[in-house]
């Protein structure tokens, strides 16, 4: 079984499934124009704090959701629409054994100024707990 952090990333990716043509958790998965709108959901960083008795670990996981769009007109609107759809899907469900909050939204454009392809990054923070002896089990 995968680490709990990987399970949280997979759950976030599953929430995004209806908002884009392609959703992946593979960091180096190339996208073609036919794949766009696309989300790439990856872990960023993870901090842990162990309980006094050493049996429980509280995790704070950074997650980046990279959204890619192609738009010939109004690329900013396309990015805003994608971010809104993604955040709505992510936050529609808060039940379960982890929480998610939005930390920031960043917009990126190709360095040569071509406005056809752009990226929005939703930076999320998730909190969850695991047993110290079972890092793959969400509590």
Sequence spans of domains, the chain: 4-138
pLDDT digits (tens, 9 = 90+) for 94-137: 778 999 999 999 998 765 555 578 899 999 999 999 999 999 99
Query: What fold, for 4-138?
Result: STM4215-like (3.30.2000)
Distances (CA, A) of 13 to 43, 77, 114: 11, 23, 28
Tell me: the pLDDT tens digits for 72-88?
778 889 999 999 999 99
pTM over 0.85: yes
Q: What percent of the chain has pLDDT over 70?
A: 95
- CA dist list (Å): 136 to 3, 9, 32, 40, 59: 4, 13, 34, 22, 12
Q: What is the pLDDT of residues 19-77, one digit of tens each?
A: 999 999 998 888 888 899 999 999 999 999 999 898 999 999 999 999 999 887 788 89
> How many CB atoms lie under 10 A from the CB of residue 134?
12
């Amino acid at each position: 079984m995968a680490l709990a952090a990987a399970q949280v990333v997979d759950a976030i990716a599953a929430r995004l499934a209806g908002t884009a043509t392609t959703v992946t958790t593979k960091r180096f998965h190339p996208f073609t124009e036919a794949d766009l709108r696309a989300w790439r959901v990856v872990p960023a960083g993870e901090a842990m704090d162990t309980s006094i008795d050493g049996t429980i670990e509280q995790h704070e996981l950074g997650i980046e959701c990279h959204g890619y769009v192609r738009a010939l007109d109004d690329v900013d609107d396309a990015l805003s629409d994608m971010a809104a759809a993604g955040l709505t899907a992510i936050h529609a469900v808060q039940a379960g054994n982890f929480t998610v909050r939005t930390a920031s939204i960043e917009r990126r454009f190709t360095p040569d100024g071509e406005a056809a392809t752009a990226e929005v990054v939703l930076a999320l923070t998730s909190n969850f707990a695991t047993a110290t002896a079972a890092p793959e089990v969400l509590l």
